[in-house]
Structure 1
Amino acid sequence: MMITLVFLGRLAEQAGGPTRQLPAPLDWAGLLGALDTGLAAQVASDRVRLALNGGLLADKTQLRAEAGDEVALLPPVSGG
């Protein structure tokens, strides 16, 4: 089974699309390793939040996703 990554906002452009499938299980190191260097650096920044199955993780480095889970990457909100 797979895990679905969801890229929101400008992260979707950088990822080349809004979703990607990765094999389960997935931890923080595995997530970063599955992304190209530039995108991984953005995701690792303090400005990008991470949600697992709709719930924000207080510490994204504690990510533990299993088969069927959805991991959403949320860029900072820009406004005006």
Structure 2
Amino acid sequence: MYDHDLGWETGPDTDDAHSCVADLRTALSAHGITLPSIGVDPPAFAASPSLALVALGNCNIATARKLAAVLRTAWRGETPS
């Protein structure tokens, strides 16, 4: 959703934010979880100083439950069911 070119200046904050989004998308995908609207939050860069934020967006209940299950098992050191 937010991955299109908005004409932002590139720099450490924007590059790091986009890298973080890619890493998170890959990690979620490894557990069968897709958050379609994950991306860099554009308004965060309008702040002074700019603050890179990752927008996780909305997801349906099934995806939220899957994410919660993965987080619970990771916290306990278990294998997700």
Q: TM-score, normalised by structure 2?
A: 0.30
Give the number of the structure with larger relative contact order, counting CA–CA contacts within 8 Å between residues 6 or more apart. 1
More strand by share: 1
Find the structure with the greater CA-based Rg: 2
Name the TM-score, length of structure 1 as normaliser. 0.30
